[in-house]
Amino acid sequence: MQLNDDIISIKNIGEERSKKLQKLGIFTVNDLIEYFPRDYDDRSNVLKIKDIELNKINTIKGKVVIKPETTKIKHLSITKIRISDETGFLEIVWFNQPYLKNTIKYKGEYIFTGKVIEKYGRLQMEAPDYEIIDDRQLLSNGRIVPIYASTYKFSQKLFREVISQTLGSVKDQIKEFLPKEILRENNLCDRAFAIENIHFPKDDKSFFKARYRLAFEELFLLQTKLLQIKGILEHKQCNINIKDTNIKPFLDILPFKLTDAQNKVLKEMLNDFKLDKAMNRLIQGDVGSGKTVIAQILSYIGVNNGYQVAVMAPTDVLASQHFESFKKLFDKLNIKCIFLSGSQKAKEKREAYELIEKGEAQIIIGTHAIIQDKVIFKNLGVVITDEQHRFGVKQREILSKKGENPHTLVMTATPIPRTLALILYGDLDISIIDKLPPGRQKIDTVYVNSTYYPRIYNFLKKNADEKRQAYIICPMIEENEKNELKAVLSYTEELKNEVFTSYNVECIHGKMKNDEKQDIMDRFYKGEIDILISTTVIEVGINVPNATIMVIENAERFGISQLHQLRGRVGRGSDKSYCVLVSDAKSKQSKERLNTMVKYSDGFILSEKDLEIRGTGDFFGTRQHGVPDMKIANLYKDMEILKQVQKVSIMLYKKDPLLLKDENKDLKEKIDNFFNNIDNTVSL
Closest-CA residue to 403 (of 279, 270, 294)? 279
CB 293 within 8 A of CB 543: no
Give the pLDDT confidence of 566-593 residue by residue, as tens digits.
Answer: 898 898 888 899 999 999 998 888 899 8
Residues of the chain with CATH 2.40.50.140: 45-142
What is the predicted pLDDT for the residue at 621? 40
pLDDT, the chain, mean: 86
Read off the pLDDT band of 426 (50, 70, 90): low
**Phi (first) and psi of residue 124, to 5 degrees:** -140, 130
pLDDT of residue 301: 96
Model pLDDT, residue 120: 85
Label residue 185 exposed, middle or buried (CB < 10 Å: 0-12, 13-18, 19+). exposed
What is the DSSP pairing of strand 39-42 with strand 443-448? unpaired
- Percentage, residues of the chain above pLDDT 70: 87
Residue 616: pLDDT over 60: no
Percent of the chain with pLDDT over 90: 51
Give the pLDDT of residue 682: 33
Look at phi and psi of residue 363 and say left if phi exceeds 0, alpha if psi is from -120 to 50, else beta: beta
The CA distance from 540 to 322, in Å, is 12
Which has the closest alpha carbon to 682: 220, 228, 34?
228
Rounded distance between C-alpha atoms, residue 352 and residue 308, angstroms: 14
Q: Which is the CATH superfamily of the domain at 443-600?
A: P-loop containing nucleotide triphosphate hydrolases (3.40.50.300)
List the 547-552 sheet strands across, edge first: 443-448, 577-582, 547-552, 469-473, 531-534, 505-508
Residue pair 444/576 in contact (Cβ under 8 Å)? The answer is yes
Give residue 339's Cα distance to chain centre: 31
CB 530 within 8 A of CB 504: yes
248-277+290-412 to CATH, choices 3.40.50.2020, 3.40.47.10, 3.90.320.10, 3.40.50.300: 3.40.50.300
CATH architecture assigned to 45-142: Beta Barrel (2.40)
10 Å CB burial of residue 136 (0-12, 13-18, 19+) is exposed
Q: Tell me the pLDDT tens digit for each residue of 229-252.
A: 767 656 666 778 898 999 999 999
pLDDT at 391: 47
CA 461 vs CA 200, 527, 531, 654: distances in Å: 62, 15, 9, 64
**Chain centroid offset of residue 664 CA:** 31
DSSP assignment letter at 579 = E
Element (H or E) spanning 83, and its range? strand 76-85
The HSE-up count of residue 611 (CA atoms within 13 Å, CB side) is: 23
Q: What is the mean pLDDT of residues 392-419?
A: 70
Contact (Cβ atoms closer than 8 angstroms) between residue 460 and residue 531 = yes
pLDDT of res. 619: 42
Instruction: Determine the pLDDT at residue 629.
Output: 62
Q: Are 569 and 550 in contact (CB under 8 A)?
A: yes
pLDDT digits (tens, 9 = 90+) for 332-350: 999 999 999 988 889 999 9
Where in the sequence of the chain do the CATH 3.40.50.300 domains occur?
248-277+290-412, 443-600
Residues 80-106, mean pLDDT to the nearest whole number: 94
Q: How confident is the model at residue 91 (pLDDT cuts 50, 70, 90)?
A: very high
Q: Give the C-alpha separation, 194 to 218, whole Å.
A: 13
State whether the Cα torsion 6-10-13-17 is positive or negative.
negative
Looking at residue 284, what is its pLDDT? 83
- Residue 485 is predicted with a pLDDT of 61
pLDDT tens digits for range 44-79: 999 999 999 999 999 999 999 999 999 998 889 999
pLDDT for 56: 93
User: What is the three-state SS of 454-502?
Assistant: HHHHHHHHHHHHCCCEEEEECCECCCCCCCCCCEHHHHHHHHHHHHCCC
Q: What is the signed CA dihedral for 156, 161, 165, 171, rounded to 10 degrees?
A: 40
Span 123-143, mean pLDDT? Answer: 90
pLDDT number for residue 423? 60
Write down the pLDDT at residue 625: 44
pLDDT band, very low/low/confident/very high, at 394 (cuts 50, 70, 90)? low
Rounded Cα distance between 286 and 435, Å, is 8
DSSP result, 12-36: T--HHHHHHHHHTT--BHHHHHT--
> Which residue intervals of 305-440 are DSSP H helices?
316-330, 346-358, 393-400, 418-424
Find the range with the poorest average confidence among 48-57, 288-297, 380-389, 410-419: 410-419
Contact (Cβ atoms closer than 8 angstroms) between residue 531 and residue 495? yes
Strands (E), 133-252: 144-147
Q: What average pLDDT does range 15-31 have in this prediction?
A: 90
CB-based contact 91:125 (threshold 8 Å): yes
Query: Which of the residue ranges 389-398, 454-463, 534-543 would you say has the lowest mean pLDDT?
Result: 389-398
Report if pTM > 0.75. no
CB 182 within 8 A of CB 191: no
* 262, 294 contact by CB (below 8 A): yes
